[in-house]
Structure 1
Amino acid sequence: MSRAVLFDFSGTLFDDTSVLTGARLAARCARRDVRLTMATANAFLAAMQSTVDSPAGRSALRGADGDSGTHRARWTALAESVPGAGPAIAAAYYDCVTDVRAWLPYPDTAATLGALRRAGVPVAVVSNTGWDISGSFSEAGLAGLVDAFVLSCDLGLEKPDPRLFETACQKLGVQPADALMVGDDPVRDGGAAAAGVPVYLLPRDRAGDRPRGLSAVLRLVGVEGVA
């Protein structure tokens, strides 16, 4: 039975499918004195997402999670490369990406973290990210259920580097073999295996309004049904 659990953030505990919307982009642009119709905001958002998700975009973002300044610079540069998107719209787009209030937990996140807390199983969040995601846990009332945050931008390392998982285990005071890594990416999260941490991968199919299947984690660590 595992004595600690390491969780990925995006797509594992928090929904990554509904953070970016045309309405949020338009609102962020308005704060920067740029007025967009909803149709224009949606068009910009679609173009920016397509650019970020393209092979060239993914190549440009390689290594960006290791430093907050680099993360911001590369994401905004990609957004600004979209025709018609100047610095203000690109900055508004990045505001949306990193808005801690826009990231929402899956329906079964709170119950899972709560059960682990009541069972005395410590939890760490291990994430490739360019900003402090702990604010999203605070906004969702979950900050007290996480013992440690191990973020790539703080350490200058990115998953699958095993040192991230080793650091998380050290923070929780457990040996790697006594922890369980839970994520959704076989490469990045699967890197925990190189550190000696067993890995449980969630299905890639997900939606923010459905439970993520985290109850399986409770069964794996033997705390299912803890009241």
Structure 2
Amino acid sequence: MSEPGEGGVHGVLFDFAGTLFDDTGVLTAPRLVAKAGDRGVTLDEQVAATLIRRTLAYVDAPERSAAKEGCDLSPDAHRRIWTGLIADAGPFEPPLVEALYDCLTDNDAWLPYPDTLPVLEALSAAGVRTGVLSNIGWDIRPIFKRTGVLDQLNAVVLSCEVGLAKPDPAIFGVACERLSLSAGRVLFVGDDPVKDGAAARAGLPVYLLPSERDVRVSRGLTAILRLAGAENGRDAAAQ
């Protein structure tokens, strides 16, 4: 039986969006209809779907990358930058802008991949220190609490709380300190070769997931149990 930490890994840090929780199904027509209604705006789902496509095409365009710089460094910066981009995508009136932003930051809209919770539970059962490090503009702890695994995380490091964001190597150092482990003992798991891959510059071994993802399909996270010497935790978590 392997012990946690064999092979040099004593802890695992995970990215959030696109790694543990799906980021492709947050902005949906039914949700926008509901959020817009809360803001006094009446939409049908067909119109809502059109508005979503228009917004995503604009904000995800490569030429908008520079405009997003610094958006994850504080909650105020995130709201200001993202509502500005959303408004320009229309242009949309303020109530619709706020409804679209509400959708993006709705913790209830974020769903785990099928293997997310079993892997986090298995790591915890095996005694592997585990954390989340995310570039994000709001508190995502309620998502982990809702899904029952917040207490199994030894650290949650959010860019909007520490004023640092990936790929800055310093934020990886902060996360390792909160795990009480040296960088070389912490495996970083993510899906962005630039932002998550920068963990290597901070001395962490890195495991990158494929960019293609679907909330209905396992993310491939079970491989982490072997890398962390925690395969025995899968059986313990199931008991």
**TM bracket, shorter-chain basis:** over 0.9
1:82, distance to aligned residue in structure 2 (A): 2.8
CA contact (8 A) 2:21 2:111 kept: yes
> Could you list the runs of 5+ residues in structure 2 that have no partner in the other structure?
1-6
Aligned to 2:3: none
1:170, distance to aligned residue in structure 2 (A): 0.6
Task: Indicate the structure whose relative CO is greater, using CA pairs within 8 Å and at least 6 residues apart.
Answer: 2
- 1:93-132, aligned counterparts within 5 Å? 93-132=100-139
1:84, distance to aligned residue in structure 2 (A): 5.1
Aligned to 1:33: 40
Between stretches 139-148 and 174-183, larger displacement belongs to: 139-148
| Deviations, residues 85-108 of structure 1 (Å, cap 9, x unaligned) | 210111111111010010011100
- Secondary structure of residue in 1 paired with 2:136: coil
Aligned to 2:4: none
- 1:45-64, aligned counterparts within 5 Å? 45-64=52-71
Aligned match for 1:199, one of 185, 196, 206: 206
After superposition, the Cα gap between the structure-2 partners of 1:165 and 1:84, relative to the gap in structure 1 and judged at 3 Å, is: closer
1:23 aligns with 2:27: no
After superposition, the Cα gap between the structure-2 partners of 1:84 and 1:114, relative to the gap in structure 1 and judged at 3 Å, is: same
* Distance in 1, Cα, partners of 2:92 & 2:30: 16
* Distance in 1, Cα, partners of 2:81 & 2:91: 18
* Distance in 2, Cα, partners of 1:142 & 1:32: 32
Misfit runs of 4+, over 3 Å: none
Aligned to 2:147: 140
* Distance in 2, Cα, partners of 1:26 & 1:84: 18
CA contact (8 A) 2:59 2:89 kept: no
After TM superposition, the score normalised by the length of structure 1 is 0.97
Q: Percent identity?
A: 47
- Secondary structure of residue in 2 paired with 1:131: coil
1:176 aligns with 2:183: yes
Give the aligned residue type for 2:160: C
Aligned to 1:161: 168
> Could you list the runs of 5+ residues in structure 1 that have no partner in the other structure?
none
* Distance in 2, Cα, partners of 1:77 & 1:160: 24
Aligned to 1:77: 84
Give the aligned residue type for 1:23: P
1:11 aligns with 2:38: no
Give the aligned residue type for 2:206: V
1:149, distance to aligned residue in structure 2 (A): 0.8
* Distance in 2, Cα, partners of 1:41 & 1:57: 22
* Distance in 2, Cα, partners of 1:16 & 1:109: 14
- Secondary structure of residue in 1 paired with 2:109: coil
* Distance in 2, Cα, partners of 1:65 & 1:139: 23
* Distance in 1, Cα, partners of 2:12 & 2:55: 35
CA contact (8 A) 2:191 2:209 kept: yes
1:219, distance to aligned residue in structure 2 (A): 0.8
- Secondary structure of residue in 2 paired with 1:13: coil
After superposition, the Cα gap between the structure-2 partners of 1:119 and 1:225, relative to the gap in structure 1 and judged at 3 Å, is: closer
